[in-house]
Amino acid sequence: MTDKPAGKPLSSKAIEMMKPADKNKSNTGEKRGLRVSCGASGIKTFFYRYTSPVTNKLSQVKIGSFPQTSLAMARMKLQALKQIRKEGRCPATELKKEKLRLKEESQKPKIAELTIEGLVELYLTERIEDRKSVDGKIIPGARKKKGQLEVRRTLQNDAAAKLGKRIAAEVTRKDIVELVNGVIERGVKVQVGSLLREFSSA
């Protein structure tokens, strides 16, 4: 089969009718540069073929597959790619850079979001309680033994028990007020100050 007659733009119907044996079809007029090919499996793919302003060589970039990418969508993407070329940049090079950036971004280690439970434990083991250094020496905690036990009991029985699974950064003032009210309702008002002080420090 031959290419579409010159001057006649692409149409969705013409693309649907394409067979693997057909040659590439191309757009004309203002949409010039948009091409569609039909692979051996019958998948139709849109491409933008152009002369790179960087290398002055013929290049092409894939725009998408039909019908997931409609002809109208392909034309919109074409205009965006043409704008890149108009600015003196090469669309293919730009897309490769973006893919590389996304790949590097995805390979960066993900920082686990700390829950209240994890935050409390970190505070207790790294600040309040005695701990061992890398050479085995005991580093005294910020509280004496009795105080260490009291802080752990206070934070675990109230903060960790009520908000433990919540992401620490997402806990609101309202959550803290409800936590405090719960302690007051239990009739242990004197513990509220200690709870708020340690929780704020954590």
Percent of the chain with pLDDT over 90: 0
Q: What is the pLDDT of residues 4-18, one digit of tens each?
A: 444 567 888 888 888
Domain boundaries, the chain: 12-107, 116-201
**Whether the predicted pLDDT of 180 surpasses 70:** yes
Pick the closest to residue 73 from 12, 7, 8 (CA basis). Answer: 12
Whether the predicted pLDDT of 109 surpasses 70: no
Token readout for 188 is: 């242990």
Residue 199: in which H helix or E strand, if any?
helix 190-201
Q: Would you tell me the crossing angle of helices 190-201 and 145-154 to the nearest 10 degrees?
A: 90
* pLDDT over 70 at 111, yes or no: no
Q: Given a cut of 80, is residue 193 above it in pLDDT?
A: no
Residue 160 has pLDDT above 60, yes or no: yes
CA distance linking residue 60 with residue 28, whole number of Å: 16
With 60 as the cut, is the pLDDT of residue 118 above it? Answer: yes
DSSP H helical ranges for 124-172: 145-154, 161-163
Q: Please say whether the structural domain 12-107 has been given the CATH code 3.30.160.390.
A: yes
Which one is predicted more confidently, 44 or 201? Answer: 44
The runs of H, that is alpha helices, within 37-159 are 71-86, 91-107, 116-123, 145-154
Tens digit of pLDDT for each residue in 38-77? 888 888 889 888 888 888 888 888 888 898 888 888 888 8
Please say if the pLDDT value at position 3 is more than 80. Answer: no
Greater confidence (202 vs 27) lies with 202
Distance CA 85, CA 22 (A): 29
